[in-house]
Amino acid sequence: MGLNDLLAAEIEKKRKRLDDETDAVKLKPKELLKRQEVPQQVKEQHYTGTEGRLEGLKPSKPAEDALLLVNRLKTRPERIDAIIAQESQVKTQITVETIQEEQTDLLSIQCNLFIHTVLRSWTTDNYKPDLILDTKRALYPLLLKLRRKTLPTQLLISLSTILFHMQRSEFSLATQSYMELSIGNVAWPIGVVSVGIHARRAHERIQGKDKVANVMLDDTTRLWITSVKRLITYWADRDRRSRSTESLIISH
């Protein structure tokens, strides 16, 4: 093969390559269109399937929750009136007979009412005003559990024992019961018949070494327990001032 033949063959090869590239460019728009059509078909199929599923759907959970909230807000005044009417029939004086595990509903109401009484008196007396707001804030979770009757029984028994001694001006016993509550024991007032020494010891064995101090449970519990100590301190100061006033009146 001569030089001319080699040149002719090379030219023919380049011409053929150029023709192939031209054909590829011409076909590209069609291929691109074809690619675009596939997602559109998939999209239409997805939309059709979704539309079919939407026909039988129920209202969403957020919508149901919102509806329940609206209904609760509408009935809130009636529910509050019912609670007030119920509580107005309850005496706030806690007795040994009511500090029982079978009386938790009554105890919850009594504790709630008496704590509110102490807080109102504290506010009226303007006793350490820098502490009252923090004390109310810390006691709010406790008062909420008392109102809903969801405070654990052991905590309720100990709390009611503390308030029982406060009402009887037995502040040393109230402080002792507070310490029992803090370290995780159940504080019972002396004289509770249904909880004898054997039952108490059995309860302590059940708790065992895994017993955790209540003040260590969580910050919320720790705060309301320490705030109960503030209630004891205020009520003792109020009682002392009241006795001093009575003594002055008698002396004159």
Highest average pLDDT, of 3-17, 87-101, 194-208, comes from 87-101
The residue-averaged pLDDT of 139-165 equals 97
Statement: residue 65 has pLDDT above 70: yes
> Band of the pLDDT at 244, cuts 50, 70, 90?
confident
pLDDT at 90: 76
- Arithmetic mean of pLDDT, 197-210: 47
Question: Residue 66 is encoded by which pair of tokens?
Answer: 């919102």
Residue among 143, 177, 160 nearest 107 (CA): 160
Task: Give dist(CA 180, CA 157) in Å, integer.
Answer: 11
Confidence of residue 115 (pLDDT cuts 50, 70, 90): very high
More confident residue, 35 or 173: 173
Query: How far, in whole angstroms, is CA 60 from its chain's centroid?
Result: 24
What pLDDT was estimated at residue 3? 57
Mean pLDDT confidence for 6-21: 66
Q: pLDDT class for 205, splitting at 50, 70, 90?
A: very low
Structure tokens at 139: 């006691």
Provide the CATH topology of domain 91-251: RNA Binding Protein, Prp18; Chain A (1.20.940)
Predicted TM-score (pTM) of the model is 0.63
| Mean pLDDT calculated for residue range 136-163 | 97
Among the listed residues 232, 228, 234, 233, the one whose alpha carbon sits nearest the alpha carbon of residue 136: 228
Map out the domains of the chain as residue ranges: 1-53, 91-251
Of 187, 183, 186, 188, the closest CA to residue 212 belongs to: 183
Q: Does an H or E element contain 194, and which?
A: none
Structure tokens at 238: 């109020």
Position 33, amino acid? L
Q: Are 174 and 162 in contact (CB under 8 A)?
A: yes
Please report, for residues 14, 212, 219, the alpha-carbon distance to residue 180 in angstroms, rounded to integers and kept in the order given: 100, 12, 18
Q: Which residue has the higher pLDDT, 198 or 36?
A: 36
pLDDT-derived band at 251, boundaries 50, 70, 90: low
